[in-house]
Amino acid sequence: MDAFYAAIEQRDRPELRGKPVIVGGDGPRQVVSTASYEARRFGVHSAMPGVRARRLCPHGIFVVPRMEVYAAVSAQVHEVFARFTDQVEPLSLDEAFLDVTGSRALFGDGETIARAIKQQVKAATQLDVSVGVAASKYVAKVASDLKKPDALVVVPPGEERAFLAPLPVSRLWGVGPATEPLLHRHGLRTIGDVQARSEAELVAVLGQNLGEHVFVLANGLDARSVDAEREAKSIGHEMTFVEDLHDRDHVRSIVLQLSEMVGRRLRSHGQRATVVRLKIRHPDFTTLSRQRKVEPTADDLVIHRVACELLASCWNGRPGVRLLGVTGASLVGAGAPVQGGLFAQAPKKRDQLLAAMDRIRDRHGESAVRHGGERRETTQWGPEA
Amino acid sequence: MKILCDRNALQEAVTVVSSVVPVKTTKPILQNLLLRADSEGITLFATDLEMAARVQLDSVKVSKKGTALLPARETAALLRELSEPTVTLDSSEQRCRIESGGGSFVLLGEDPEQYPEEAQSKAGRKVEIAAGAMLRMIQETVFAAAREETRYAINGVLLDCAAGCLRLVATDGRRLAISYENLDTKVEFKTVVPLRALHTLSRALAEGSKEMLRIEVGDKQITFAVGSTQLVSQLLETRFPDYEGVLPKSADTTVEVAKSLLEGALRRAAILSSNDMRMVRFEVADDQLRMTAESSARGRADVAIQAVVKGAGGSINFNPDYILEALRVCKLDQIRLDMSDDSMPAKFTLGESFTYVVMPISGS
């Protein structure tokens, strides 16, 4: 989708149309989620600190994100995708890979399907979408980005190398701010320059893994298939604070809130985490990450207990806390075998309680029901009955 | 201070007290051991502030009373290497000269006044038990205690003395070991002793020994004394879980099986349990116990052994390591397993006074 969040705001508020709209805040700790194309002309882009965006674009209109609305629109868009294929691999709220190989007999070739999708998304949401059509995921993604907004770029099979050749190396996945200067030093500025080198030469410059990876992408050889059942490897939430936190109880209560969010998402995906990870960032931007293996769990209070133990192991109240993150990782399916506990509350009872809390939240919103703050601790044998 | 003593006896005493000297510490003075010579002989003492060991030696010729603080590691190593039957220690002003045979060594000590020597413990509740029995109970329980540091609350073993019976109980929340010994006493106490203290104590106890171990439980600390050796440990201030509540009262199926058969078969099956989740399935039916394991990446195992089965039969999954660790300290030839389903703990009878409870793996 093109400037997805900003485009939705402009759609819903006509007075914003044609103006530089910046979704996100301009406070000291806030960042830009999405900038409209009008704002991008001033150099504003996503993930930029709000303060900087304000300086670049003083007359920009800052809009508070409305995530529920964006999620609802995203669902409408996915509903359009589903009319053409069930092989959909979502990348984010507003991006997805579609494998339409098996749909051509019904709907025509890739370009025809792309046009139909653009038209039907527009009809359903009044929003523009850019589509890239190619034989591999990587080339399709580059093609979709190339002529935004409202673009349709088709790269016929066999023309991938020629299509990629003029593009800068920064278009290669895995080539970021660290790798780009390295490639430049070796005289590699465009993907065409990379295509002129052998795999062995690239491995010598970039190391085994990245070298092979860049060789495959640059030559349009990316053979990964669209994975409709791609599962998240981890589920995490982070919070950055307007003012640094110093109070231990306050920090622990935020950790509880993050743990509840992680637990809820684990349960809604039917998964359990076997690793709990805590991330903490101090005012000087030093960032620590601590993790521990746990018995598979999707229980808010178990995640909270472990996260608090990790917190205690790396933070003693000083220095302040700028950002906190809680993640459940190394996920396993909810049906995977679980080592039972001798003293924990009966797991079934506990699961029923959490399921009931989830139903209340589904109906009445995320803050309708919460675990009591600090006073309800868990014991080392599991949540207290 | 000047003493003449048997090298062997001194070396043994130094080894025992050195076992509490911390390897790493923020207080360097704790890497020493204290040696006091008076009219009764000598006393060796060391502590890490949580635990202390004291050994008395009376077969010593004290020619000058006094106190010395010696570097523990070097003292122990030196005594081990000396070959003469006797050794002389002569210390003044924090220098201790050790002479034995033709050799002469000087150990630089520290000021004994600075060393935190504890007073002898005050009176508490006392029981006596044969050293060999205590060693057996320690061996039958410590392996089941939690080793993760954060589970400090069960990083110890419960000593529960009531109704003329001393029970040792250890658990990590997933399995639980209980071992007991009947005592002729009316004393009652219930206290949690750090694992480390029991490991150290077990080194001072001899297998099958009838020598009496004296246990004295105070409010904050526990003292174990056997022969001329005394070990004092802080108690863990913690609430031990209700272990009696998790002992299964009944079972759907009872299996009796030869320990050596079970141990061998289980070890073979466990090789092919997956790395992510160590799991072996026990299936009980028709006078046999069948163990199967499967690793999606490596293969499958299927082993069956003879068993005497009573009851409904059925199947249940266990972490094989939990069972193998217990079998390693089991001295019975024939063991008994009482099991129901995966929501109930299973009970292994591994000795006349040794019971082991394991929570199964559920799901799948």
- pLDDT tens across B180-229, in order? 999 999 999 999 999 989 999 998 898 889 999 999 999 889 999 999 89
B335 pLDDT more than 90: yes
Contact B211, B131 (CB under 8 A): yes
Domain boundaries, chain B: 2-114, 125-234, 253-358
Looking at domain B2-114, does it have CATH number 3.10.150.10?
yes
Chain B contact set for A309 (CB, 8 A): 150
pLDDT of residue A345: 56
A324 or A382, higher pLDDT: A324
Looking at domain A232-364, does it have CATH number 3.40.50.620?
no
A47 pLDDT more than 80: no
CB proximity B361 to A under 8 Å: yes
Domain boundaries, chain A: 4-65, 130-228, 232-364
Q: For residue B355, which of B326, B334, B319, B320 has the smallest C-alpha distance?
A: B326
The C-alpha atoms of residue B171 and residue B174 are separated, in whole angstroms, by 7
Helix, coil or strand: residue B144: helix
When mean pLDDT is compared across A31-45, A85-99, A184-198, B312-326, the lowest value belongs to: A85-99
pLDDT of residue A229: 61
A379 pLDDT more than 50: no
What is the C-alpha radius of gyration for chain B, rounded to an integer number of angstroms?
Answer: 25
Average predicted confidence (pLDDT) for chain A: 84
CB atoms inside a 10 Å sphere around CB A125 = 19
Q: How far is CA A238 from CA A58, A162, A253, A287, A310, in A?
A: 29, 41, 14, 13, 16
Contact call for A340 and B361, based on CB within 8 A: yes
Best of A342, A345, A381, A384 to disrupt the B interface (most B CBs within 10 Å) is A342
Q: What is the mean pLDDT of residues B333-356?
A: 93
Contact call for A339 and B319, based on CB within 8 A: yes
Chain A contact set for B319 (CB, 8 A): 339
Q: For residue B156, which of B79, B275, B236 has the smallest C-alpha distance?
A: B236
**A residues 300-329 closer than 8 Å to B (CB):** 309
Best of A275, A304, A310, A339 to disrupt the B interface (most B CBs within 10 Å) is A339
Give the H or E element holding residue A171. none
Joined tokens for residue A203: 């491995």
CA dihedral A141, A147, A149, A152 (to 10 degrees): -70
Q: For residue A297, which of A329, A255, A256, A324 has the smallest C-alpha distance?
A: A329
CA neighbours closer than 13 Å in the CB half-sphere of residue A126: 9
Contact call for B361 and A343, based on CB within 8 A: no
Chain B contact set for A344 (CB, 8 A): 173
Instruction: For this complex, say whether ipTM is above 0.90.
Output: no
Contact A311, A280 (CB under 8 A): yes
Q: What is the pLDDT of residues B216-265, one digit of tens each?
A: 999 889 999 999 899 999 998 878 888 998 899 889 999 999 999 999 99
Q: What is the mean pLDDT of residues B28-38?
A: 93
CA neighbours closer than 13 Å in the CB half-sphere of residue B8: 1
pLDDT of residue A238: 86
Contact call for A380 and B173, based on CB within 8 A: yes
Task: Give me the active site residues of A, please.
Answer: 95
CB proximity A244 to B under 8 Å: no
CB proximity B345 to A under 8 Å: yes
The C-alpha atoms of residue B215 and residue A297 are separated, in whole angstroms, by 42
Q: What is the mean pLDDT of residues B107-112?
A: 89
Q: What is the pLDDT of residues B44-91, one digit of tens each?
A: 999 998 899 999 998 889 999 999 999 999 999 999 998 888 999 999
Question: What is the CATH number that goes with domain B125-234?
Answer: 3.10.150.10
Residues 6+ apart with CB under 8 A from B275: B295
- pLDDT confidence tier of residue A93, bands split at 50, 70 and 90: confident
| Superfamily name and number for A130-228 | 5' to 3' exonuclease, C-terminal subdomain (1.10.150.20)
Q: What percent of chain B has pLDDT over 90?
A: 63
CB proximity B296 to A under 8 Å: no
Q: Which long-range contacts (CB under 8 A, 24 or more apart) does A91-98 make?
A: A93/A4, A94/A1, A94/A4, A94/A70, A95/A1, A97/A137, A97/A140, A97/A141, A97/A226, A98/A226
B360 or A337, higher pLDDT: B360
- CATH classification of B253-358, choosing from 2.40.10.340, 3.10.150.10, 3.40.30.10, 2.60.40.10? 3.10.150.10
Residue showing tokens 């010729």: B61
Q: How far is CA B360 from CA A34, B1, B289, in A?
A: 50, 61, 16
Q: What is the pLDDT of residues A123-182, one digit of tens each?
A: 998 999 999 999 888 899 989 988 888 889 999 988 888 988 899 988 888 787 778 888
Q: What is the pLDDT of residues B153-165, one digit of tens each?
A: 578 899 999 999 9
With CA atoms as reference, the chain B residue closest to A306 would be: B150
CB proximity B41 to A under 8 Å: no
With CA atoms as reference, the chain A residue closest to B248 would be: A342
Chain A contact set for B173 (CB, 8 A): 341-344, 380-382
- Maximum mean pLDDT: which of A79-93, B56-70, B144-158: B56-70
The C-alpha atoms of residue A302 and residue A308 are separated, in whole angstroms, by 10
Residue among A332, A340, A382 minimizing CB distance to B362: A340
- pLDDT confidence tier of residue B364, bands split at 50, 70 and 90: low
The C-alpha atoms of residue B218 and residue B121 are separated, in whole angstroms, by 8
Joined tokens for residue A54: 């304000």
* Distance in Å, alpha carbon of A335 to nearest chain B alpha carbon: 6
**B residues 157-196 closer than 8 Å to A (CB):** 171, 173-176
* Sign of the dihedral defined by the CA atoms of residues A192, A197, A200, A205, in that order: negative
A75 pLDDT more than 50: yes
Contact call for B246 and A309, based on CB within 8 A: no
Average predicted confidence (pLDDT) for chain B: 90
Same fold, B125-234 and B253-358: yes
Question: What is the CATH number that goes with domain A4-65?
Answer: 3.40.1170.60
